[in-house]
Amino acid sequence: MTGCARTHSNGVRGIAPPFSTIYYLPSNISQNDCTAYLKNVRKGQDENGGSDLAKYLIVNADDFGLCRASNEAVETLFQNGRLHSSTIMMPARAAKEAVQFAVDHPEYAVGVHLTLTSEWPKYRWKPLTGGQSLVDETGNMWPTSKLVERNAKYSEVEAELRAQVDAAHALGMHPSHLDNHMGSLYGHHGGRLSFSKLALRVCGDYGYAYRYFTSTDKRLCPRGVPYPVYRLFALLPRHWSRRYGVILPDYLIFPDWTADLRTSYAHYRETILRIWTDIPDGVTETFVHPCVESDEIKSFIGAWRNRVWEYDLLNDPETHRYLADHGVQMISFRELVQMKRK
């Protein structure tokens, strides 16, 4: 299959995840089948009701609650007016501190970052439930989404998701939305699309919006993914979100830290701002993992500088002026819900 790389008009390649098995295409579906099927589907903007032909961008800060460095970054960004949405990893070590911040500041849109993986060998965590299929031989969560899909029992995944949301509630938090850590609930890493349906059903039960996409655009097609496959995978959340009454963004930008992007902060900033402004009309979400520079993150995150750069980019007032000058309005998940309920 020929992949669709996100290449902008000036030749700078857009960022998308290093998908090898992500956007899994079932073996019994050919690309021709996908193309033929998609010809009968109306384009997503009409089906989603649109968003008044304006460009809205949600930049969500993932991994709130991971550690002190992430908490300091997210809290600072909120208080400086540079951040509008974030999500907390309830099993992580600094989650209670993050939840307390959300409780103390209900004006900020803070949700739950549904977590089934624990990826850093020197900094791990366990599930909130006793689900044995959710852990590896060390008793910690699986290190990759692929291992989650391969080993986790559906019933134990559901119990864990609900336990994480319930834990936030028990601490007095009223989440604005839900999303998931490392894409472990999309089913893209091994074909367990039932996880995706489950996540949307849980969101529907609690009444929360969720991170996914219902519309596609070639500019946002993940690197190496055939465009018909990309479009096919927008159909499933579109159907399930309607079934369970879950509000979703229109589009989703999957970040990808390529070697080229890491060459310098200036190049990173230029590339990201170009991508964030070259978006279709409607609501587009993307996500970052901001941290302040510290010995703490250097001790367990090899690519810690990526997270510091994300913090620096969001905390820079010039970033927000650039977006505004290019007709992009940053919004929160709460504003998304208000827009979609009109």
Q: What is the percent of the chain with per-residue pLDDT over 70, rounded to a whole number?
A: 84
* DSSP 8-state class, residue 281: S
Average pLDDT of span 296-325: 98
The answer on pLDDT for 5 being more than 60 is no
DSSP string, 133-145: GGB-TTSSBBSSH
For residues 183 and 115, give the distance between their C-alpha atoms in angstroms, rounded to a whole number: 9
Prediction pTM value? 0.87
Q: What is the pLDDT of residue 49?
A: 43
CA dihedral 220, 224, 230, 236 (to 10 degrees): -120
Check: CB of residue 287 under 8 Å from CB of residue 61. Answer: yes
Q: What is the pLDDT of residue 307?
A: 98
pLDDT tens-place string over residues 158-170: 999 999 999 999 9
Q: What is the pLDDT of residue 2?
A: 36
Alpha helices (H) in the chain, listed in sequence order:
31-38, 44-47, 68-79, 95-104, 145-151, 154-170, 193-206, 227-244, 265-277, 295-298, 304-315, 317-325, 333-340
Check: CB of residue 301 under 8 Å from CB of residue 311. Answer: no
Of the candidates 162, 232, 257, 164, the residue with the CA atom closest to the CA atom of residue 201: 162
Q: Three-state SS for 123?
A: strand
Backbone angles phi, psi at 283, to 5 degrees: -105, 120
Check: CB of residue 219 under 8 Å from CB of residue 6. Answer: yes
Q: Distance of alpha carbon 282 from its chain centroid, rounded?
A: 17
The answer on pLDDT for 20 being more than 60 is no
**Buried/exposed 322-334: b ≥16 CB within 10 Å, e otherwise:** bbeeeebebbbbb
DSSP string, 158-187: HHHHHHHHHHHHHTT---SEEEEGGGTTSS
pLDDT, mean over the chain: 88
pLDDT tens-place string over residues 228-285: 999 988 999 999 999 999 999 999 999 988 999 999 999 999 999 999 999 999 999 9
Q: Which domains does the chain have, with CATH numbers?
A: 31-340 (3.20.20.370)
For residues 128 and 161, give the distance between their C-alpha atoms in angstroms, rounded to a whole number: 9
The answer on pLDDT for 6 being more than 70 is no
Q: What is the pLDDT of residue 17?
A: 42
Q: What is the pLDDT of residue 53?
A: 65
Q: What is the percent of the chain with per-residue pLDDT over 90, rounded to a whole number?
A: 80
pLDDT tens-place string over residues 112-128: 999 999 999 999 999 99
Average pLDDT of span 84-104: 98
Of the candidates 278, 303, 300, 169, the residue with the CA atom closest to the CA atom of residue 218: 278
Least confident of 17-26, 115-124, 146-155: 17-26
- The angle formed by the CA atoms of residues 132, 134 and 140, to the nearest 5 degrees, is 90
Question: Quick one: tokens of 163?
Answer: 């336990």
The answer on pLDDT for 56 being more than 70 is yes
